[in-house]
């Protein structure tokens, strides 16, 4: 038994398991794994491979075609003699004839249709490569979005866990005050209600995080039972408040980098060649043909080799075909190709505008989120200080439960606004970085 292929397969399988079972997945880990395993990406790569085969087929159209043909015929022939008295009308001899031919055909001129078809197939192959990159980009953007949603949901879980701990502590304090006659059952009931609401919010936050994780696993083509945990990285204020390029700079970098624009440009070139190919129908075609043929049979006295040699004949010829009237097929093809060219040019401009609008909106979303974050951080600090002060006043009986819970909810709202603006900015900054390929953003 050859153990080498088995060991190689085992090594590859073990490496795959190691990737799936790794303890913490970074964003780059997720993207790298998806590029190798995502089905949509693999399908788009197959389309590019298929168009490469078409290129080879277009190249082969310049070479001659060579065919061999043969036919074998069997029959019966009546036997005739000089003596009429001995003639038997039913007597027949078997006959056999064989023919063999080698035929060559090559197109010498077809209005440059083959030349332009080859150019078009190469452009289409390049366009399919960019289309595969578009699919890859879409998957990567989905991963980026889900990854940051998980980070946001996880930090929201941590916040809700903190709120639950605070609510539990407040409930215990209120119960203790009731036992010494400094509180009321109404206060305890209100605290109990608030505690349950906070527990409910915590459950929802955990469920939301689990849902985002499941979506990310599906993008990575991981099984629902596979172990999966991401790297919950921390971010500084500098990360959130990163300096951005101008809108115009970001648009120009994105137009230069995105495969969407390159594919649209190639589609225009392909449509231009399609028009030239259609116009080739107006041109004459010139082709060369050559053949070598021979035959043999049992009605000849010489042997097979001599028959083949004696019956050998060669021919060569040129065929010129000049179109005069084809029922308007060529004219219709040309008209349709011009329409397709106009459509491709419009699609190219639409792609450019869509990219520019996307970047402009993204830039605005980032600056808006950064401004919200700067304001939310200050509001959170003030709300936290106010809540802590209210807790102290409540403990000594200077404030009511209603006032305490009101300040607590204000703090919670400020905290959630900080988280939302923070991760909105981070997600959009990461997306901008992906579009522009700008390092250090």
Q: Which tens digits make up the pLDDT trace of 342-387?
A: 999 999 999 999 999 999 999 999 999 999 999 999 999 999 999 9
d(CA 228, CA 212): 12
Going from the C-alpha of 76 to that of each of 71, 79, 87, 304, the distances in angstroms are: 17, 9, 16, 20
> Which pLDDT value is given to residue 10?
37
Cα dihedral 409, 415, 418, 420, rounded to 10, equals: -80
Q: Look at residue 303 and give its three-state secondary structure.
A: coil
> Which pLDDT value is given to residue 89?
54
Mark residue 151 as left, alpha or beta (left: phi above 0; alpha: psi -120 to 50; beta: remaining).
alpha
Is 70's pLDDT higher than 60? yes
Cα dihedral 211, 370, 389, 406, rounded to 10, equals: -60
Give the mean model confidence (pLDDT) for residues 115-131.
95
Is 9's pLDDT higher than 50? no
Beta-strand ranges (E) seen in 201-352 are 285-297, 313-321
Q: How many residues does the chain have?
A: 441
The predicted-structure confidence for 169-220, as pLDDT tens digits, reads as follows 888 888 888 888 777 888 889 889 989 999 999 999 999 999 999 999 999 9
The total of other beta-carbon atoms located within 10 Å of residue 307's CB is 18
Tell me, rounded to whole angstroms, the distance of Cα 301 from its chain centroid: 71
In this structure, are residues 131 and 263 in contact, taking their beta carbons and an 8 Å threshold?
A: yes
Give the tokens for residue 139.
Answer: 């998957």
The total of other beta-carbon atoms located within 10 Å of residue 413's CB is 14
Those residues whose C-beta lies under 8 Å from the C-beta of residue 136, and which sit 6 or more positions away, are: 35, 41, 44
Q: Half-sphere exposure (CA, 13 Å, Cβ side) for 67?
A: 7
Q: What is the pTM of this model?
A: 0.80
Q: At what angle do helices 113-179 and 39-60 cross, to 10 degrees?
A: 180
| Cα-Cα-Cα-Cα dihedral sign, residues 411, 413, 418, 419 | positive
Q: Which residue has the higher pLDDT, 440 or 234?
A: 234
> Which pLDDT value is given to residue 191?
86
The predicted-structure confidence for 295-335, as pLDDT tens digits, reads as follows 888 876 778 888 888 889 999 999 999 999 988 999 999 99
Q: Which of 423, 437, 432 is nearest to 146 (CA)?
A: 423
Q: Half-sphere exposure (CA, 13 Å, Cβ side) for 337?
A: 19
Those residues whose C-beta lies under 8 Å from the C-beta of residue 55, and which sit 6 or more positions away, are: 118, 121, 122, 125
- Domains of the chain, with CATH numbers? 25-63+110-283+323-436 (1.20.1600.10), 69-108+287-322 (no CATH)
d(CA 313, CA 26): 75
Is 15's pLDDT higher than 60? no
Give the tokens for residue 212.
Answer: 């985002």
Those residues whose C-beta lies under 8 Å from the C-beta of residue 173, and which sit 6 or more positions away, are: 395
* Phi, psi angles (nearest 5°) of residue 266: -70, -35
In which residue are the tokens 């700008």 written? 438
Is 86's pLDDT higher than 60? no
In this structure, are residues 295 and 128 in contact, taking their beta carbons and an 8 Å threshold?
A: no
235 DSSP assignment? -
Those residues whose C-beta lies under 8 Å from the C-beta of residue 394, and which sit 6 or more positions away, are: 400, 401, 403, 404
Give the mean model confidence (pLDDT) for residues 127-141.
95
The predicted-structure confidence for 397-433, as pLDDT tens digits, reads as follows 788 888 888 898 899 999 999 999 999 999 999 999 9
DSSP 202-234: HHHHHHHHHHHHHHHHHHTT--TTS---B----
Q: Which of 433, 425, 438 is nearest to 240 (CA)?
A: 425
The predicted-structure confidence for 272-291, as pLDDT tens digits, reads as follows 999 999 999 999 999 999 99
d(CA 273, CA 268): 9
Give the mean model confidence (pLDDT) for residues 15-42.
79
In which residue are the tokens 């946001």 written? 152
Going from the C-alpha of 397 to that of each of 172, 178, 189, 394, 404, the distances in angstroms are: 15, 12, 17, 5, 11
Beta-strand ranges (E) seen in 23-152 are 65-78, 92-109
Q: Which of 37, 220, 201, 257 is nearest to 146 (CA)?
A: 220
């Amino acid at each position: 038994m050859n153990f080498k292929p088995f060991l190689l397969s085992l090594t590859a399988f073990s490496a795959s398991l190691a990737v799936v079972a790794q303890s913490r997945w970074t964003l780059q880990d997720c993207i790298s794994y998806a590029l190798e395993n995502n089905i949509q990406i693999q399908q788009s790569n197959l389309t590019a491979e298929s168009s490469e085969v078409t290129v080879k087929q277009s190249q082969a159209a310049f070479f001659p075609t060579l065919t061999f043909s043969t036919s074998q015929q069997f029959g019966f022939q009546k036997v005739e003699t000089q003596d009429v008295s001995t003639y038997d009308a039913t007597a027949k001899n078997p006959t056999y004839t064989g023919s063999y031919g080698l035929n060559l055909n090559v197109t010498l001129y077809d209005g440059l249709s083959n030349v332009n078809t080859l150019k078009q197939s190469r452009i289409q192959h390049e366009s399919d490569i960019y289309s595969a990159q578009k699919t890859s980009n879409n998957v990567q953007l989905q991963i980026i979005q889900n990854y940051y949603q998980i980070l946001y949901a996880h930090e929201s879980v941590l916040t809700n866990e903190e709120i639950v701990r605070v609510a539990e502590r407040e409930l215990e304090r209120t119960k203790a005050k009731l036992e010494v006659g400094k509180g009321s059952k109404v206060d305890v009931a209100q605290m109990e209600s608030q505690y349950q609401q906070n527990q409910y919010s915590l459950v929802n936050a955990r469920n939301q995080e689990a849902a985002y994780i499941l979506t990310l696993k599906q993008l990575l083509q991981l099984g629902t039972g596979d172990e999966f945990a991401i790297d919950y990285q921390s971010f500084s204020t500098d990360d959130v408040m990163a300096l951005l390029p101008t809108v115009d700079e970001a648009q120009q970098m994105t137009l230069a980098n995105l495969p969407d624009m390159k594919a649209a440009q190639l589609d225009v070139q392909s449509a231009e060649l399609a028009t030239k190919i259609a116009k080739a129908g107006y041109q004459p075609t010139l082709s060369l043909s050559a053949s070598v043929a021979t035959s043999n049979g049992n009605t000849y006295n010489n042997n097979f080799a001599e028959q083949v040699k004696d019956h050998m004949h060669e021919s060569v010829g040129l065929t010129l075909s000049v179109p005069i009237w084809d029922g308007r097929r060529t004219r219709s093809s040309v008209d349709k190709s011009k329409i397709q060219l106009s459509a491709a040019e419009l699609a190219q401009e639409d792609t450019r505008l869509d990219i520019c609008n996307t970047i402009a909106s993204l830039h605005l979303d980032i600056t808006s989120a950064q401004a919200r974050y700067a304001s939310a951080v200050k509001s959170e600090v003030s709300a936290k200080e106010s809540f802590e002060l209210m807790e102290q006043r409540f403990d000594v009986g200077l404030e009511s439960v209603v006032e305490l819970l009101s300040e607590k909810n204000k703090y919670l709202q400020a905290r959630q606004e900080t988280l939302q603006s923070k991760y909105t900015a981070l997600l959009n900054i990461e997306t901008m970085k992906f579009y522009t390929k700008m390092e250090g953003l």
